[in-house]
Amino acid sequence: MIALSPGGTMATKPHFTAMFVFGDSLIDPGNNNDLNSLAKANYVPYGVDFNQGVPTGRFCNGRTIIDFLGDLLELPLLPPYMNLSATSRNILSGVNYASAAGGILEETGQNLGERFSLSEQVQNFQNTLNQLKRRMREEELSNYLASSLVVMILGSNDYLNNYLQPSFYTSSYIYSPKAYAELLIERYKRQISVLHSLGPRKFLLGGIGPLGCIPNQLATGLSPPGKCVSSVNDYVGIFNMRLRSLVDQFNRDYQGSIFVYGNTFGAFTDIITNASTYGLTVTDRGCCGIGRNQGQITCLPFSVPCINRNHYVFWDAFHPTAAANQILARKAYSGPPSDCYPMNVQQMAQI
């Protein structure tokens, strides 16, 4: 979007007034740092390629998909919700509420300790909203929220730290894969509807990636060498199909709003399958980790990561490298309907 500056010259302006982010460790910018949790990344070598090598709590060697998407939208780095002060002025460009180990279900991730579930993240957004109400008139706030982008990337932990952990959770005994996906979608739908009722009108809902292909799952030995764990990919495929249908439903039910499905599964599968076209060469193991596929034990404090990080798809047992995150962000921003349905983020911004 281009605007004329007061001097009459062409000047760019952000595509959205702000971005509000809900999710898990894929996009957590440090909200778990001060929680009593095993799900933390506030130690070296996390952040080795970000912030002069000082760890921030991001589960990556560098930037997350949200950081790269913010760049494309000309928004500053979003502050973690847990780093905000009561009088913080930096909330005007948005806030990131994502929490490692958090999921759609309340109990998801409890095996790793404290975390913010989706419902708690929505409550935290309401706290931010109360701050904004003290700064803006009602009409101004309404326009601001309607021009903001909400990004939600959740569901991975509902499988990795719930359904696929039968020794800790009973969900896989109670629910078939289809019934479990339905449960997740119904709970997800409820929280998205709450957010919509609070004022935002543009939503990007990211699907779950091919979890059966991450080093953590390859390290289980449940698949032949060089193959992803197909059963796990089948489980998340059911969820993703339902999420895409939910986007259609929301777009029918909420006239004047835009809901977009981010096909993370398809986009990430493309990166793995066609790695060389993206300048990547290592697709089946972590850059930092221990054991089979560097995925049996994730990146520990003071581990020495691989040197050629820009050639790896995976940073650790669970998370992509900054190189992969940048590709995913571009696909979300300007990709075809196969990556972002029914439109991409750039197209959303023009409506």
Backbone angles phi, psi at 336, to 5 degrees: -75, 175
Active-site residue flag, 85: no
Kindly name the residue from 49, 158, 284, 316 that is annotated as catalytic. 316
Asked if 75 contacts 19 with a C-beta cutoff of 8 angstroms, the reply is yes
Place of tokens 């979890």: 211
The Cα 29–Cα 8 span in angstroms is 38
The Cα 292–Cα 216 span in angstroms is 9
Largest CA distance in the chain: 66
Q: Is 241 helix (H, G, I), strand (E, B) or coil?
A: helix
The Cα 338–Cα 276 span in angstroms is 20
Place of tokens 């494309």: 72
Which of 140, 92, 95, 98 lies closest to 117, judged by CA?
A: 98
Which of 240, 108, 227, 117 lies closest to 177, judged by CA?
A: 240
Active-site residue flag, 25: yes
Helix, strand, coil shares of the chain, percent, nearest 5, are 40, 15, 45
Backbone angles phi, psi at 80, to 5 degrees: -70, 145
Kindly name the residue from 24, 25, 28, 117 that is annotated as catalytic. 25
Asked if 217 contacts 228 with a C-beta cutoff of 8 angstroms, the reply is yes
Enzyme catalytic residues? 25, 316, 319
